[in-house]
Chains A and B, each alone.
Chain A
């Protein structure tokens, strides 16, 4: 029997590979952050943010009009998230890990031939980012860090909805985004 691979599954697979790579390939924050301070978790979120910024850049050649304009705005928001995460890691006494070269991330991206390809890939990445921030809410030890994670998570929820609308889907298909367990 032939196995049918949906576009969503194919691009979701690309996102999963990228996320796994972000978790495993980027070094943890160096310096004097205490174990259990949350610096390691923030470093993982930072690695994914950097990959997502490269993904928005790699998507730009196939995006048009509103999609291109909004992708640029979202990318600018992700850059702001990077700055906040880097500052938080430094406040914990760590040194944020240096990002990888864009080409290293791009090697793991699926082939983005059309706007629809790019939007499916970006939707999966946004979902994975949101899930990461929701997990961080449960795990980060300090209120200040959790507040930052919640604020960025709210941004990611908005970005995810925007990408869905651009892809022709509903902004809010579920009452509980990404699940909660």
Chain B
């Protein structure tokens, strides 16, 4: 499925339920608030990859690929949020640690892995808890993409490809 098709899926799922109530996920946040949080995280990621590309803190082809994919996620979630009547995206302040992370590729890889982990956790929660069933699968497909981003960053940094292994009981 092409990115455009998936964006349409996000938009269609949101639009189909735009007039239906309740719009609240289990956990008390509205679907719009969940999408806003995801947008803010995506904007941080995109901003970080843009800065890293400018400062040569990431391999160029990898940085461009990750940046383009984060932008695709932003486009899809913005469309879904707009169809729910969401607010315009808020300005995003870059994380304080970004400046120091841009000093070397190794430092940026660690920083980006932390940010990707935060996004992965947010998508894992959102894809399960958002109230509109039609949005769960598209958010899950972005979640899996963020998992893959972490693997790409680890491969580029020479880190073990698989983060965890079995979790302790």
Q: A76 with B165: in contact, given A154-B120, A171-B155 (CB under 8 Å)?
A: yes
Size of the B side of the interface (Cβ < 8 Å), in residues, is 48
B148 touches A161 (CB 8 A): yes
| Secondary structure class of chain B's binding surface, majority of residues | helix
Q: A180 with B127: in contact, given A157-B148, A161-B148 (CB under 8 Å)?
A: no
| Secondary structure class of chain A's binding surface, majority of residues | helix
In the assembled complex, the Cα of A167 lies from the Cα of B72 at a distance in Å of 26
Residue of A nearest to B12 (CB): A181
Chain B window 53-86, contacts with chain A (Cβ cutoff 8 Å), 1 for yes, 0 for no: 0000000000001101100110010000000000
In the assembled complex, the Cα of A165 lies from the Cα of B10 at a distance in Å of 28
Contacts of A138 in B (CB 8 A): 133-134, 136-137
B1 touches A176 (CB 8 A): yes
A80 touches B148 (CB 8 A): no
Residues of A within 8 A of B (CB): 66, 70, 73-74, 76-77, 79-80, 130, 133-135, 137-139, 143, 146-147, 149-151, 153-162, 164-166, 170-172, 174-181
What are 11 contact pairs spanning A and B, CB under 8 A? A80-B166, A137-B127, A147-B129, A157-B143, A158-B148, A159-B162, A165-B161, A166-B161, A171-B151, A172-B152, A181-B1
